[in-house]
Amino acid sequence: MISQLEKEVTLRFLKTRKKDGFLNIISIFSFIGISLGVAVLIIVMSVMNGFRTELIDKIVGFNAHAVVKPYDKFVNLDSYKNSNFLQTNVSSIVYSNDGEAIILNKDNTKGVLLKGYSNNDFKNLEIVKNKEFYGNKELKENTISIGRELSFNLDLDVGESVTLMSPAGVETIVGSLPKQESFKVTSIFDSGLADFNENVAYINLNTLESFFDKNTDQRFLEYYFKKPQDISNHKKQLLIIYQNELVYTWADLNESLFSALKVERNVMFIILSLIIIVAAFNIISGLTILVKNKTRDIGILKSIGVTNKSIKKIFFLVGFTIGTTATLFGIVIGTLFSYYIENIREFISNTFDLSLFPEEIYFLNTMPSEINPNSIILIAFCSIITTIIVSIYPAAQASSLDTVKTLKYE
C-alpha cells in the first residue's frame, strides 16, 4: 500500500522548481521520448496490420480459399455433402480446372494461366461481383475474361477476338502442331494486383477441357469459406475429409509473402522499442539528479521517521508516474493518428503536392490502418515494464543514503 505521506511527497517531487531547471528538461524529454516511442509503435503496427488485412482481402477476393486436387480419381463432392464442417463453414464449392497457354494478338504474345469455370459458377466469383469488373458476366464457350493489365499489354478491349495456343497437339500431315482457337473477349476484371491481372484469364470449363484435351476426372474442387482468415483450422478439417487428395490453401500459395510480412513487423517492433528504451533511460538520469538535489530532503524525511522502504517507494513512484502518463499520452496520440491516417495523408499530399503512398507501387488507393487492441496492450505493457525497471536503481540509491551524512554535508 501507498501511504498518504508517500503520495504527497511524490507529487511534490514531480513539481520541479525553477532551480531544478536542468532536471525539469530531463523529465520533459523523458516524457516526450516515451510518448513518441509508444505513438510511433502503435502507428507502425496499425499500418502493417492494415496492409496485411488489405492484402489478405485482395488475395481471398480472387483466389479459391482452398483447393482439393485428385491424385488419380475424380473428387466426388456428393459423398461429403452431409459433413457438419461443410454445412457450417463453407459458403460455396465449385468445380474448376486450369492449364497454361499462350495468348496471341497481332504482334504481341503472352503466356497465361487459364482457369476454367462453368457459366453459373463464374457469375458468383468475388472478382466478378466487384465494381471494377467491366463487361458481360456470362462465360460461355469460346469466350474469355482477361485482366486489366493484360488488356493494356495486348491492346485488347471487350468485343475483340484473340487467339490462344494450347500445348495439346493436333495431328496433321506434317506432324503434331499446337492447337489454336479463337476466343472473344467478353469482360475485363481487376483483382487489385497487377501480377494476377497480367497472368491469369478465365474461360468456360468445358471449353478449357476440350482445349487442353483434359477429361472431367481431372477437375478439382475450390472451396470458399465464410471466414477465410481462419484458414489453418479449415485446412485441418479438409485434410481429415480428403485423406487421399492434395489439399492446399491461399495461405500455402502466399506463405513466403506473409512470412516476410511477419518478420518485418517483428523487426520493426524491436527497432522502434529502442526509442522507448532510450527515453526510459533518461528517467534514470532524471531520478539520479533528483536524488542528488533532494539529499537534504531525504535526510529530513528519515530523521522524522520515514523508513527506507517509503523513500524507495517515493522515488520509484516518481519514475513510474512519468513513464505511465507518457505511455498513456502516447497511446492516445498513436491511436488518433492511426484512425485519421488517411485524412492526414491526403492533407499532406494536397498541401505539399507529394505522393506519399503511390497506388501504382502498393496497389492500394488508401493508406491501410487497423488498430489492434492486443498490439496496444502489448506496447503499453512493454513501455511500463521498462519504466519500472529503470526506476528501481535510483529509488534504491535514494533509500540507501545515510541520514547523518546527508544532514551534515547539506
Question: Cα separation of 164 and 122, whole Å?
Answer: 20
Q: Which string of b and e fits 378-408 if b means at least 16 CB within 10 Å?
A: ebbebbbebbebbbbebbebbbebeeeebee
**Cα distance between residue 199 and residue 114, in whole Å:** 9
> Is the pLDDT at 32 greater than 60, yes or no?
yes
Query: Which cell numbers in the block locate residue 139?
Result: 462465360
Could you give phi then psi for residue 355, rounded to 5 degrees? -105, 95
pLDDT reported for residue 345: 81
Confidence of residue 204 (pLDDT cuts 50, 70, 90): very high
Residue 21 has pLDDT above 60, yes or no: no
β pairing state of 143-147 and 200-204 = antiparallel
The rounded distance, in Å, linking the Cα atoms of 37 and 287 is: 20
**Segments in 219-340 forming alpha helices (H):** 231-241, 250-253, 255-293, 295-303, 308-339
Residue from 266, 255, 229 nearest 44 by CA: 266
Sign (positive/negative) of CA torsion 151, 155, 159, 163?
negative
Distance of alpha carbon 261 from the chain centroid: 7
Give the model's pLDDT for residue 251.
Answer: 84
Sequence ranges of the domains in the chain: 4-56+258-409, 76-218
Cβ-proximal residues to 64 (8 Å cutoff; 6+ apart), any chain: 96, 222, 223, 224, 250
CB 236 within 8 A of CB 187: no
pLDDT, position 302: 76
The pLDDT assigned to 365 comes to 64
The pLDDT of residue 360 = 56
pLDDT digits (tens, 9 = 90+) for 155-177: 888 888 998 988 776 655 555 67
Nearest to 290 by CA among 395, 197, 139: 395
Beta bridge partners of 162: 183
> What pLDDT digit, counting tens, does each position of 307-361 carry?
888 888 888 888 888 888 889 999 999 999 999 888 888 888 788 777 766 655 5
Mean pLDDT of the chain: 81
The pLDDT value recorded for residue 361 is: 58
Residue-wise pLDDT for 207-222, tens only, equals 998 888 888 888 888 8
3-class DSSP state for residue 268?
Answer: helix
Residues 6+ apart with CB under 8 A from 258: 52, 251
